[in-house]
Each structure stands twice: as structure tokens, then as C-alpha cells.
Amino acid sequence: MRIGELSRKSGMAASAIRFYEEQGLLPPPSRAANGYRHYGGEVVQQLQRIQLAKNLGFSLETIRGFFSDTGECSKEKTLAQTVLRLREIEQLQATLATQYRDLLALRALLEDGDAAGVRTLC
């Protein structure tokens, strides 16, 4: 299939498909005599996997490491990166929870108008 059809089937812009190809996330497509890219049907699934991984917060470099040169996904590499990503999210959640509590306390101080002697933003 040509890139326009792949774009329609995957829901991704042709420019995004070309970008993923340039970044090594997709296998190089074959080329017709006129130079048009020709993609196999498996590329739709590959694009869906890339989009899912992006939605889960994985970097393009990490996503690239999930797949072999043939496009096969390594379960071991993916599991290892998933564990790392879960740790990152846990740390982020802890940081956000602390910020949330601190912001609630700041708001309470500011709303009460009793912030005298207490270090606040205002």
C-alpha cells in the first residue's frame, strides 16, 4: 500500500509515517519504479504499537529498542523498559502528591489571610 492509504488505515499523518521511517522505527519500504513508497500490511500494526508506546510515555529511542531489524517485538526488552517506566511514574506520582499537599496548604494560608510570618509566595 502507498503512504496515503497507510495514513488512512493507521490514522497517522503521512509526515509522521515518514518521520518514524527516518527514525528507524519502521522497516524501509520497498519502492515502486516511480519512487513511491510501498508498505506491507504489517506496518499498520507496527504504527499502532508505536502510538501505544508513545501514549504510555516511552521515548522514541526506547521504542526503537523494542523492535528488531525485522520488526519483531522483544518481550524481554519491552518488559524491562515497562518496569523502568513504572518506576518513573511512581516517582512522579510521589512528587505530584507532595506538590498537591503543599499547594493545598498554601491556598489555605492565603484564603485565611493569616499568612503573616509564614513563608508564602505572596
| Number of domain units in the chain | 2
Residues 88 and 54 in one domain: no
Q: What is the pLDDT of residues 62-119, one digit of tens each?
A: 999 888 766 788 899 999 999 999 999 999 999 999 999 999 998 888 888 665 555 6
**Domain interval for residue 64:** 1-73
Per-residue confidence (pLDDT) for residue 74, from 0 to 100: 86
Residues 40 and 60 in one domain: yes
The 3-class secondary structure across the chain, one letter per residue, is CCHHHHHHHHCCCHHHHHHHHHCCCCCCCEECCCCCEECCCHHHHHHHHHHHHHHCCCCHHHHHHHECCCCCECHHHHHHHHHHHHHHHHHHHHHHHHHHHHHHHHHHHHHHCCCCCCCCCC
Residues 24 and 66 in one domain: yes
